[in-house]
Amino acid sequence: YKHYFTFEPSLGVRETAWRINEDENTSTENDWKLHRELYDVKLDLSTELFHVYHLNGEGIDKIKHSIRPQIVYDYIPDDPDLSLYPNFEEEIDRIEKKNLVTYSITNTFTSKSKKHTAERDKYQEDEYEERSYIYHEFCRFKLEQSYDINKAKEDDPENWTNN
């Protein structure tokens, strides 16, 4: 919104298909065929605040400190027919429902320094051409917390877990 915020919505569709042949010696007409479709929604809102510190030192000219707060909403609906589908591998065949809000703040520090003469492009012909710089992200610190809406709706406190 007017270059102050970044908003990225996404909608996805997943399909899984199974074809199970119970007897290798029979024709494919008797094969068992199943499929499922699931959708997922993701909404990502963030902004970035930054300040550039001018050092003009021997090795480093500037340091940029950026702060990026972010809120992400992830949703995958519950699959009511989960017991109908085969379960060959738990991580692949089972897609868990998700209703999650994640908020985070990321601090990033990036230095800017001039390239030494030997590191500059060999084909740089004119000494008045724009100087080449090296950018180095030397520190990244992220704090993140998630709130599971599905778990918050559960009535039995024994089902609650800390992530």
If you average pLDDT over residues 62-83, what whole number do you get?
A: 89
Encode pLDDT of 114-161 as tens digits: 886 554 455 555 555 556 889 999 999 999 999 998 888 776 555 445
Q: What is the DSSP string of the chain?
A: -TTT-EEEEEEEEEEEEEEE-S-TTS-GGG-EEEEEEEEEEEEEEE--EEEEEE---SS-SEEEEEEEEEEEEEEE---TTGGGS--S-HHHH----EEEEEEEEEEEEEEEEEPPGGGS-TT---TTSPPPEEEEEEEEEEEEEEEEHHHHH-S-GGG----
Residue 14 resides in a domain = yes
Residue 84 is predicted with a pLDDT of 66
pLDDT over threshold 90, residue 49? yes
**pLDDT(14) > 70:** yes
Residue-number span of the structural domain to which 49 is assigned: 6-22+31-119+131-156
In a domain, 75, yes or no: yes
% of residues, the chain, pLDDT over 70: 67
The answer to the question of residue 97 being in a domain is yes
Res 68: pLDDT: 98
- Residues whose CB is less than 8 angstroms from the CB of residue 79 and which lie 6 or more positions away in sequence, other chains included: 36, 38, 95, 97
- Mean pLDDT over each residue of the chain, to the nearest integer: 80
Average pLDDT over residues 44-58: 91
Is residue 1 assigned to a domain? no
pLDDT of amino acid 52: 95
- What is the number of domains present in the chain? 1
- Does the residue 51 lie in any domain? yes
- Residue 34's pLDDT band, with cuts at 50, 70 and 90, is confident
Q: What contacts 24+ positions apart, CB below 8 Å, involve 26-31?
A: none
Token pair in block for residue 135: 């950018």
What is the Cα–Cα distance from 143 to 108, expressed in whole angstroms? 12
Six-digit token pair at 11? 């909608």
Flag whether 147 is in a domain.
yes
pLDDT band with cut points at 50, 70 and 90 for residue 47:
very high
161 occurs within a structural domain:
no
Q: Token match 């074809």: residue?
A: 19
CA distance readout (Å), 57 to 5, 35, 63, 112: 34, 63, 11, 11
For the residues 19-32, what does the mean pLDDT come to? 64
The predicted pLDDT at position 96 comes to 82
Task: Write the CA distances from 8 to 15, 19, 108, 114, integer angstroms.
Answer: 23, 36, 21, 35
In a domain, 61, yes or no: yes
By residue count, the chain amounts to: 163
pLDDT digits (tens, 9 = 90+) for 83-120: 666 666 666 566 788 999 999 999 999 999 888 655 44
Residues 44-62 have a mean pLDDT of 91
